[in-house]
Amino acid sequence: MWREPERHSEYSPTLACYNPDHYSAPSTAMKTLICGSIAYDTIMVFPDRFKNHILPEQIHILNVSFLVPDMRREFGGCAGNIAYSLKLLGGAPLIMAAVGNDSDPYMYRLQQLGLDARHVQKIPDSFTAQAFITTDLDDNQITAFHPGAMNFSHLNHVGDAQTVSLGIISPDGRDGMLQHAREFREAGIPFVFDPGQGLPMFNGDELLQFLELADYCTVNSYEAKQLCERTGQSLEELGGRVKALIVTLGGNGSALYSEGKHVVIPAVKPASLVDPTGCGDAYRAGLLYGIAQGWDMEKTCRLASLMGSIKIAYRGGQNHKPQRDEIAVL
CA separation for the pair 129, 39 (Å, rounded):
5
pLDDT in tens, 52-76: 999 888 888 889 999 999 999 999 9
Number of H helices, E strands in the chain: 8, 13
First vs last Cα of the chain: how many Å apart? Answer: 39
pTM (2 decimals)? 0.89
Q: pLDDT tens digit string along 153-192?
A: 999 999 999 999 999 999 999 999 999 999 999 999 999 9
Confidence of residue 1 (pLDDT cuts 50, 70, 90): very low
Domain 20-326 class, CATH top level: alpha beta
Of the residues 41, 104, 172, 281, only one is catalytic, namely: 281
Per-residue pLDDT band for 21 (boundaries 50, 70, 90) equals very low
* pLDDT(319) > 90: yes
Quote the mean pLDDT of the chain.
90
Other Cβ atoms closer than 10 A to 2: 19
**Pairs from 261-269 (Cβ < 8 Å, separation ≥ 24):** 262/236, 263/298, 263/301, 265/298, 265/301, 265/302, 265/305, 266/305, 267/305, 267/308, 267/309, 268/305, 268/306, 268/308, 268/309, 269/309
Give the percent of the chain with pLDDT over 70: 89
Instruction: Reduce the DSSP state of residue 276 to 3 states and report it.
Output: coil
The single-letter code of the amino acid at 238 is L
**What is the distance between the alpha carbons of residues 308 and 298, in angstroms, rounded to a whole number?**
15
Contact between 222 and 210 (Cβ < 8 Å): no
Active site residue 325: no
Sequence spans of domains, the chain:
20-326
Lowest mean pLDDT of 17-26, 114-123, 316-325, name the range.
17-26
